[in-house]
Structure 1
Amino acid sequence: MPAETAIALHDVSFRYPGAQEDTLRNVNLHIHAGDFVTVVGGNGSAKTTMCKTFNGLVPHYWTGDFAGVAEVCGIDTYTSSVAELSARVGYVYQDFMNQLVRPTVRDEISFSPINFGLADYAERTAEALEMLRITELSDRYVWQLSGGQGHLTALASVLAMRPEIIVVDEPVAELDPARALEIYERLEVLNEQHGITVVTIEHHAEFIAQFAKSVVLMHQGSPVWHLPVQDAVNRSAELAEHGIPAPQVVQAAQALGHDQAPRTVAEAAHLLGSVPSPDTTAPAIEGVDSRQPVVAQVDDVHHSYRTVKSALQPVLNGVDLQIRRGDRVALVGGNGSGKTTLLKLLAGIMVPRFGDVMLDGINTRSKSAAKLSDQVAYLWQQPQQMFLKESIEKDIALYPQERNIPQWQHIVEHTLEQVRLSEFSDRDGRTLSGGQQRRATVAIGLAMQPKLLLLDEPTASLDIDSRDAVITMLDDLAHVINSAVVATHDMSLVAEWANRVIVLQNGRVAADLHPRALFDDQDLLAQAHLVPSQITQLGQAIGLTPPPLSVEEFVARFQAARPALDLNSHTVGAPRI
């Protein structure tokens, strides 16, 4: 194998035990040392399975029928072992919390260097902590970490080994937007300054366009092509067919008649030019309708978790808010800001140490979470936690059937139709794709017919088509759901779905405002570790104030502000064929 090749797969096929067909199908792929490769494709295209051949998990841990040759750093993975390969290939898994095995963050990061007998393990640990800005977490127990903090810890444990190859499955899953950007910037530094070959599995086209050097498109278990990133971005229509819509800046540029595919906001702004000032196309910012009845109320709520050493770790510190009928609330903030804790308090799963939470006039202290489920439904961050029966139909029926709700069978059938899962009604939810699992959990919540629906990161780890399907579904179900609160890092969801944003910072409500007002407040965005979507950034860059929230709005306002341009023959959404 040539010295410059880091990874080479030759006619690799793999079938999981009991499967009817191969998951990997005659895969041929070469990745050069020093490349920054992003693997893309829809849910179920075998991206993760292929990448698990890089560190020997396939076929040594995930056993099955393996054929072909996989070579990594000149080593045949079939005749090697996961332990031997782990010194060369660092892997951060999509279910990253399962790879944390030590009590504290510092222990976790130093675990591999110590086990490999590296004398500078302490230096490597401190370096990894500092690189990801999590030094303050070093003595925290891993079970105390938020999802985003756990992800950073898993990545730091990989970086401490200074591997030749780093594979990261969904690098930005569960990270706040600022940390997500920083992760990619750090991976870029590792790639360019230290020569580490980086492989990411990604659904977010904007990160692919900005940071990748080459792109592998997977479909039905094998690569469709492996191209330089600009060539890949230029194939926006083909990528869209595989569930990867073009970055928003590409959609906007092509909708405005440009053939070029800008990879960054700066390139798109340079291509389009500025609009006249002042901007007279800006829509009005809508306020909260205070005439609507209050569905939930939080009064001076304080909450903390007790550590192993019995100290209290504050999470919420004096939160006051009201949720009214018709509210579509996006709950945002940095990792560890208390979003999930607040959702669980609203659901009555936990009660606050101080203060009160009222649901439809009921104090959550006075009833169990099971009783409160008549008023509120909480959809867990990990969909698998909501699948208790052998089929999603039985999972959806669990609540209405046990409550003897009249015509519960009709409710179940109708709910399956609403979320477009009728044909999968007899499937175990754990066997569904990521997007289908999310829809199934929403169906479980809808069948409870709650006044308030709470969703924790409903679009995390979904491909863009599945994410858009969840957003569209929430829009379509607005007449069924009185009010909804979504804890999220997904700024596109915030922009396209929410009519109200609550920003949590340091355990308090830092702001309660409309998405448009949020994205127009640069200081607040920086303080809360939030980064607007690409189209919002592009609007700001060319002078649209307040910034646009969607590609459609951007194009309409740009055309209104620049009427002299001959743009009438172009339509929004051209790259999403």
Structure 2
Amino acid sequence: MREPVLELKGVTFTYPGADQPVLHNVSMRLVEGDFTAVIGSNGSGKSTLCKCFNGLIPHYYSGDFSGEAVICGLSSEGRSVAELSRHIGYVYQDFENQLVRPTVMDDVCFTPLNYGFADYKERGERALALTGLSELRNEFIWQLSGGQKHLLALAGALAMEPEILVIDEPVAQLDPQHARHIYEILRRLNVEYGKTIVVIEHHAEFIADYCRNVILMDNGSIRWQKPVREAMSSVDELLALGIYPPDVTQAAWMLQPGLRLGRLYPLNVGEGKACFIHRDKEVVPSVLFTNEVHLVEKEKEIVVQMKDVRLSYRTIHRTMNPVLNGIGLTLRRGESVALIGNNGAGKSSLMKLIAGMVRPTEGTVNVKGIKVNGLPPERLSGIVAYIFQNPEEMFIEDSVRKEIAYYLKARRLTDTEERVEQMLHAFRLSELAEQDARLLSGGQQRRVSLAIGAAIRPAVMLLDEPTANLDISTKQEMVKVLETLRGQVETVVIATHDMQLVAEWASRIIVMHQGRIIADGSKDEIFADGQLLQRAGLAQTPLMELSQMLGLPHICSSLEEFTQNVALQKEGPVHSGCCQTGA
């Protein structure tokens, strides 16, 4: 029997001023070497639960606390967060706030140095080696990509050499290849070094591939703690809570409705292929959009035009660091454009050029016939709306209604009140109109930020990672919200790593890599090219991959599309017994 490393015994916690406890009589147990995912819908208590592990609750966050937390045999009662942090490392969702020193080496050594460990440098070096950052030890923090910063926050936690690691949203804002890299490191820490890993995660595919156990939170309580296959196969129960198992698992569940009770379903593409067909078949080439469609697009009005655009930043060493290299791009009225590519590909920089937030080093940027180069951003405010990755950065008032009205009043528009009411209705914010936007959920905040941008009726709306840090249920809602935008603005451009969103929403996909556009086309054209996706740090969704494996007539992006195509295959019905795999 492995020893328990973490126990909660009857923990109840209520935040000050709250009517109900956010945790209610929670008891759980993790043993040495566990790799556990904590799942649940927004507001279920996941993050609050994990803050009990290292003593942040009740020692840092005030409130009414009862019960006991035991970490590595030590009761949290009477022990400080600093003392408990020797045993448990925590990487927060807003991980950049954990980076406090100017260089990589300074930052990774910061915590063990402050604890007075004589070997703080050796601890830092070991942590950098584990996370693959050794060659960046002398780099400045601001020079790192988002993925590298996330790894550095993890390295900082590892430098204390804790027995337990808790990571809140390990792959938020990361491209698919960097996301899998993070999880491969966590697996190595778990398997080779015996670390107990706890992740708060919305991405079921990563849970299925890497975790051993799953804890389901519901309304402040633990509903169950199960092995991963049994947990992900509880499809009915999870969907009822707005939690989405892997697409492969859902597809098998949808295709076999008569066998659902107690069924164990496939968790990944390999298992899915065995489940959905009897034998291998040749892959049928994907159906590509015809030239006629492209001709129709080319006839539409030009909204944005970029010619031989280059952008460089001056570094601290007075050298020029190129970010964009010779961009030529035309965006037209009515397009829904997705910019995809790995972290640091230049997606956000390209959008900031369109919005006038930065000036190109060379070349020209035109929006609706206006040359943007060097034009103050406020001159473009009625033409281009830029929606930041973090919605709260746009909030300055104390109610949703006032937030939407603020920019309209600043521009002295006579129909401000009418526009505000239209936006509240269009983005389903009427019931939230008098609430402070900063206190809303992530999905609600995103709707408010879009309403603010759409209210000025811009020609172009630019969205940076619109589904970042949202659970899967809220992400699906965002697709509907983006559809609403089609009727409010001429052209919508999003920069994202969310391939599911791209597949379901975009009419045009632009792939960027190392500051260049390396591909521009339709969903079927882009996602059929595996080498292109790998080069750009991206990946097909499991359903896309299965579509090609099974020889379906075209790449499927939705469950409904995939299951319909599988069911219509001439070879016969789905095999009735192939999904009963062992736990």
What's the TM-score bracket when you normalise by the shorter of the two chains?
over 0.9
Residue of structure 2 equivalent to 1:329: 337
Structure 1 range deviating more: 515-524 or 272-281: 272-281
Pair 1:494 & 2:493 matched: no
Correspondences of 1:445-484 after superposition (within 5 Å): 445-484=453-492
Cα gap change, 1:533/1:62 in structure 2, threshold over 3 Å: closer, same or farther? same
Q: Secondary structure at the match of 2:78?
A: coil
Q: Which residue type is aligned with residue 264 of structure 1?
A: N
Residue of structure 2 equivalent to 1:236: 235
Pair 1:379 & 2:383 matched: no
Correspondences of 1:117-516 after superposition (within 5 Å): 117-118=116-117, 121-135=120-134, 137-257=136-256, 259=259, 260-273=264-277, 276-277=281-282, 279=284, 282=287, 284=289, 287=294, 289-365=297-373, 367-516=375-524
Structure 1 range deviating more: 472-481 or 429-438: 472-481
Structure 1 range deviating more: 188-197 or 550-559: 550-559
Distance 2:549 2:495 in 1: 28
Residue of structure 1 equivalent to 2:539: 531
Q: Which residue type is aligned with residue 483 of structure 1?
A: T
Distance 1:422 1:456 in 2: 25
Pair 1:544 & 2:552 matched: yes
Distance 1:6 1:148 in 2: 29
Could you tell me how far 1:436 is from its partner in structure 2?
Answer: 0.8
8 Å Cα contact 2:356/2:374 also seen in 1: no
Structure 1 range deviating more: 362-371 or 545-554: 545-554
Q: Secondary structure at the match of 1:365?
A: coil
8 Å Cα contact 2:68/2:75 also seen in 1: yes
Q: Which residue type is aligned with residue 181 of structure 1?
A: R
Residue of structure 1 equivalent to 2:21: 22
Q: Which residue type is aligned with residue 76 of structure 1?
A: S
Could you tell me how far 1:308 is from its partner in structure 2?
Answer: 3.2
Q: Which residue type is aligned with residue 80 of structure 1?
A: R
Cα gap change, 1:504/1:124 in structure 2, threshold over 3 Å: closer, same or farther? farther
Could you tell me how far 1:438 is from its partner in structure 2?
Answer: 0.9
Distance 1:488 1:349 in 2: 19
8 Å Cα contact 1:281/1:557 also seen in 2: no
Cα gap change, 1:366/1:193 in structure 2, threshold over 3 Å: closer, same or farther? closer
8 Å Cα contact 2:232/2:245 also seen in 1: yes
Cα gap change, 1:336/1:57 in structure 2, threshold over 3 Å: closer, same or farther? same
Distance 1:128 1:498 in 2: 40
Unaligned runs of 5+ in 2: 576-583
8 Å Cα contact 2:286/2:555 also seen in 1: no
Q: Which residue type is aligned with residue 155 of structure 1?
A: L
Q: Secondary structure at the match of 2:206?
A: helix
8 Å Cα contact 2:208/2:228 also seen in 1: yes
Residues 268-295 of structure 1, C-alpha deviations (whole Å, 9 max, x = no match) = 1111125743638846465471111111
Distance 2:435 2:215 in 1: 31
Could you tell me how far 1:459 is from its partner in structure 2?
Answer: 0.4
Could you tell me how far 1:213 is from its partner in structure 2?
Answer: 1.0
8 Å Cα contact 2:98/2:153 also seen in 1: yes
8 Å Cα contact 1:177/1:489 also seen in 2: yes
Q: Secondary structure at the match of 2:192?
A: helix
Q: Which residue type is aligned with residue 305 of structure 2?
A: Q
Residue of structure 2 equivalent to 1:572: none
Residue of structure 2 equivalent to 1:49: 48
Pair 1:554 & 2:562 matched: yes
Which runs of at least 4 in structure 1 moved beyond 6 Å after TM superposition? none
8 Å Cα contact 2:39/2:202 also seen in 1: yes
Distance 1:223 1:271 in 2: 32
Q: Secondary structure at the match of 1:84?
A: helix
Could you tell me how far 1:114 is from its partner in structure 2?
Answer: 3.2
Could you tell me how far 1:188 is from its partner in structure 2?
Answer: 1.5
Distance 2:367 2:129 in 1: 43
Cα gap change, 1:287/1:140 in structure 2, threshold over 3 Å: closer, same or farther? farther
Cα gap change, 1:118/1:300 in structure 2, threshold over 3 Å: closer, same or farther? farther
Q: Secondary structure at the match of 2:568?
A: helix
8 Å Cα contact 2:36/2:198 also seen in 1: yes
Could you tell me how far 1:379 is from its partner in structure 2?
Answer: 0.5
Distance 2:180 2:388 in 1: 25
Distance 1:566 1:173 in 2: 35
Cα gap change, 1:3/1:264 in structure 2, threshold over 3 Å: closer, same or farther? closer
Could you tell me how far 1:559 is from its partner in structure 2?
Answer: 2.9
Distance 1:179 1:386 in 2: 28
Q: Secondary structure at the match of 1:393?
A: helix
Distance 2:124 2:287 in 1: 49
Cα gap change, 1:3/1:544 in structure 2, threshold over 3 Å: closer, same or farther? closer
Pair 1:565 & 2:573 matched: yes
Unaligned runs of 5+ in 1: 568-577
Residue of structure 2 equivalent to 1:84: 83
Structure 1 range deviating more: 544-553 or 521-530: 544-553
Distance 2:249 2:398 in 1: 43
8 Å Cα contact 1:92/1:168 also seen in 2: yes
8 Å Cα contact 2:288/2:524 also seen in 1: no
8 Å Cα contact 1:279/1:561 also seen in 2: no
Distance 1:503 1:126 in 2: 36
Residues 202-241 of structure 1, C-alpha deviations (whole Å, 9 max, x = no match) = 1111112222111111122121111111121121111112
Q: Which residue type is aligned with residue 214 of structure 2?
A: V
Q: Which residue type is aligned with residue 211 of structure 1?
A: Y
Q: Which residue type is aligned with residue 284 of structure 2?
A: D
Could you tell me how far 1:562 is from its partner in structure 2?
Answer: 3.1
8 Å Cα contact 1:176/1:489 also seen in 2: yes
Distance 1:126 1:537 in 2: 39
Distance 1:363 1:309 in 2: 32
When normalised by structure 2's length, the TM-score is: 0.92
Residue of structure 2 equivalent to 1:11: 10
Distance 1:309 1:63 in 2: 46
Structure 1 range deviating more: 125-134 or 229-238: 125-134
Could you tell me how far 1:165 is from its partner in structure 2?
Answer: 0.6
Distance 2:391 2:207 in 1: 26
Could you tell me how far 1:417 is from its partner in structure 2?
Answer: 1.5
Distance 1:226 1:84 in 2: 28
Could you tell me how far 1:435 is from its partner in structure 2?
Answer: 0.9
Q: Secondary structure at the match of 1:518?
A: helix
Cα gap change, 1:317/1:408 in structure 2, threshold over 3 Å: closer, same or farther? same
Q: Give the CA RMSD over aligned residues.
A: 2.2
Q: Secondary structure at the match of 2:284?
A: coil
Distance 2:68 2:351 in 1: 48
When normalised by structure 1's length, the TM-score is: 0.93
Could you tell me how far 1:548 is from its partner in structure 2?
Answer: 2.1
Structure 1 range deviating more: 480-489 or 542-551: 542-551
Structure 1 range deviating more: 405-414 or 369-378: 405-414
